[in-house]
Amino acid sequence: MSSLVKCPHCGLRPREEFTIRGEVPTPRPAAGADESVWFDHVYLRDNPRGQHREYWHHSGGCRRWLVLDRNTVTHETGDVVDASTLKSEGRA
């Protein structure tokens, strides 16, 4: 039995229709930030245990970019929103 993801456009869909595209990034450092700050931002990633926000692409459905809350321990999915709504709110 497949896990289901609740797409805000298509409703409940099998997880196999989606492609995980990585974590929602942290804000970029200032242009004049030290080289070590930029190195950390570009190359070092947290390996969270628990709730985590990720970009997912509904490649087998509406083809929209989504931001999904996922528990990295249980793989349960939570809130799913269209990524474009976060941009308009300045949160992505």
Domains in the chain: boundaries: 4-24+38-89
Q: How confident is the model at residue 79 (pLDDT cuts 50, 70, 90)?
A: very high
- Asked if residues 9 and 60 have their Cβ atoms less than 8 Å apart, the reply is no
**Rounded average pLDDT over 47-66:** 92
pLDDT at 89: 54
Say which CATH architecture domain 4-24+38-89 belongs to.
2-Layer Sandwich (3.30)
Give the C-alpha separation, 48 to 75, whole Å: 12
Model pLDDT, residue 2: 63
Q: What is the pTM of this model?
A: 0.74
**80 vs 69: CA distance, rounded Å:** 7
- Label residue 90 left, alpha or beta by phi (over 0 means left) and psi (-120 to 50 means alpha): left
Whether pLDDT at 3 is above 80 = yes
How high is the pLDDT of residue 90? 53
pLDDT band at 26 (very low <50, low <70, confident <90, very high): confident
Distance CA 20, CA 43 (A): 19
